Structure 1
Amino acid sequence: MGLPQPKVPFDRQDYFAWETQQPTKNEYVAGEVFAMVGARQEHALVALALAARFREHLRGTRCRAYPTDMKLEVEAADAVFYPDVMVSCDEADRSRALAIQAPCLIVEVLSDSTAAYDRGAKFAAYRRLPSLQEYLLVDIDARRLELFRRETVGWVLHEPVGEGDAALLPLTSIGLDLTAADTFGDLQA
């Protein structure tokens, strides 16, 4: 039996050069690359609805909403992700071509295969971003919104107030009262 081949170093700069040539999206974490799988229709509709709602709300401000095709570089975690939606109000991010580095809000739409990762290791990486104020998890199957907000005591869970489509969740990072209808309105009951 032969000896295992030494692992060839693959850093973030190598990843950025390599990834631009790939036909599919790939995330990077500490030298390893992970292929992204396609999303189901409900996932795409919810992410699009949120990105459109944020874009409309932020029109005329210094903030921008970015859909899932924009990368997020988390230098402190040696990682690059593709969040479902993110918002940055950082002036330097406006000129970055490949990846945002200072979002104030990140949204992940949960799926069965990613929910544990989105709640665990990915959230741990996101928390290393000094700019991040809020992290919104969207559970389509349960029609539930879970907002983690950075507060003086740490990250605190906030849930919508009210019931049904009128349930309201304040996103203080962008000054928007998000409703369940804003999020789930395009989905069939």
Structure 2
Amino acid sequence: MVFPKGKKTYSYADYLEWDNDFNSEAIDGEIISMSPSPTPKHQDILGELFAELKMFLRGKDCSAFSAPMDVCLFASKESAPDTILDWVQPDILVVCDSDKIGDKNICGAPDLIVEVLSPSTARNDRLVKYNNYERAGVKEYWIVDPYNMTVEVYSLEGASFVQSKILGKDDLLTVEIFPELEIDLKNIFKE
């Protein structure tokens, strides 16, 4: 994908005109990620976590989605695409407000976002996206490290994320926004 010369910021409208097989993320109109395909280990962990969330949410008011799914963090369904400068594609997201679920994307902050780290995305997941997820009002954010087999859980308290726990492969992950859901991390991190 070649970007138009002389242009430094892009809107969601620009992105929608690009090739369908081209995925990117942007913060304040600046492209932050055009990553290569994830590794099998990344995808296996993502799949296991997604399966746990999807099964738990069956028949409930919340919905789980996996990448690629565009999330326009600071937009509403009424926002014009050329005014949207922030869009991301979290590995997993849970939305409990059906009004945020559009035909082609999610508009507004999800309730839960999960990012599985890759060497090429770790900085963005830990810094750039972390800050925007916090600012957008995501209630719970997990950073999953497939190499160290850990899950860092951040909960929104007021306007700031607070790290509520760091768990390893032998631990039980209790979900802050769904206290009745427990995920045995032995099923997620396989050696």
Using structure 2 for the length normalisation, give the TM-score: 0.81
Which residue identity is paired with 1:106?
A: I
Kindly indicate whether residue 183 of structure 2 is the aligned counterpart of residue 178 of structure 1.
Answer: yes
Q: Is the 8 A contact 1:27 1:36 kept in 2?
A: no
Q: Is the 8 A contact 1:160 1:169 kept in 2?
A: no
Which of 94, 99, 120 does residue 113 from structure 1 map onto?
Answer: 120
RMSD: 2.3
1-structure distance, mates of 2:116, 2:34: 17
Once the two structures are TM-superposed, the CA of residue 31 in structure 1 deviates from its matched residue by: 2.7
Which residue identity is paired with 1:71?
A: D
Which residue identity is paired with 2:112?
A: L
Once the two structures are TM-superposed, the CA of residue 173 in structure 1 deviates from its matched residue by: 1.4
Q: 1:157 to 1:12 in 2, by over 3 A?
A: same
Q: 1:61 to 1:118 in 2, by over 3 A?
A: same
Once the two structures are TM-superposed, the CA of residue 25 in structure 1 deviates from its matched residue by: 1.4
Corresponding residue for residue 145 of structure 1: 151
Q: Deviations along 1:76-97, whole A, 9 cap, x unmatched?
A: 7931111000100012123x02
Counterpart secondary structure, 1:138: strand
1-structure distance, mates of 2:177, 2:120: 28
Runs (4+) off by over 4 Å: none
* Structure 1: segments with no counterpart, 5+ residues: none
1-structure distance, mates of 2:8, 2:144: 37
* Structure 2: segments with no counterpart, 5+ residues: 76-83
User: Pairwise mapping of residues 40-189 of structure 1 onto structure 2 (< 5 A)?
Assistant: 40-75=39-74, 78-94=85-101, 96-100=102-106, 101-130=108-137, 132-152=138-158, 154-159=160-165, 164-165=169-170, 167-175=171-179, 176-184=181-189, 187=190, 189=191
Once the two structures are TM-superposed, the CA of residue 153 in structure 1 deviates from its matched residue by: 8.0
Q: 1:110 to 1:164 in 2, by over 3 A?
A: closer
| Identity level (%) | 29
1-structure distance, mates of 2:88, 2:169: 32
Q: Is the 8 A contact 1:84 1:108 kept in 2?
A: yes
Which residue identity is paired with 1:41?
A: P
Counterpart secondary structure, 1:107: strand
Counterpart secondary structure, 1:39: coil
Q: Is the 8 A contact 1:24 1:36 kept in 2?
A: no
2-structure distance, mates of 1:164, 1:7: 45
Q: Is the 8 A contact 1:160 1:168 kept in 2?
A: no
Which residue identity is paired with 1:56?
A: M
Q: 1:179 to 1:18 in 2, by over 3 A?
A: same
Q: Is the 8 A contact 2:140 2:155 kept in 1?
A: yes
2-structure distance, mates of 1:152, 1:80: 23
Corresponding residue for residue 80 of structure 2: none
Q: 1:174 to 1:18 in 2, by over 3 A?
A: farther
1-structure distance, mates of 2:69, 2:178: 19
Using structure 1 for the length normalisation, give the TM-score: 0.82
